Amino acid sequence: KLHHGWNGWDEGLAAPGGSTRADFKPTALFRDEKTDWWSVLLEVPASATTFNFDFTDGSGAWDNNRGGNYELPVLSPSPSQAGAAGGQQQQQGAGSSSGDGAACSARIVQGVESRPHGAGTLHVVTLAKRSPQDRGYTKSGRWSDERTLRVWTPPGWSPDKTPAGGWPTLYLTDGQNAFEDWLAHQGVSWRAGYTASD
Per-residue pLDDT of 3-45, as tens digits, reads 999 888 887 776 655 568 888 888 877 777 877 888 888 888 8
Q: Quick: pLDDT tens for 39-69.
A: 888 888 888 888 899 998 888 888 988 888 8
156 has pLDDT over 80: yes
Please state the pTM of the whole predicted model. Answer: 0.45
What pLDDT is stored for residue 101 in this prediction? 44
* CA atoms within a 13 Å half-sphere pointing along the CA-CB vector of 42: 24
What pLDDT is stored for residue 54 in this prediction? 92
What pLDDT is stored for residue 87 in this prediction? 42
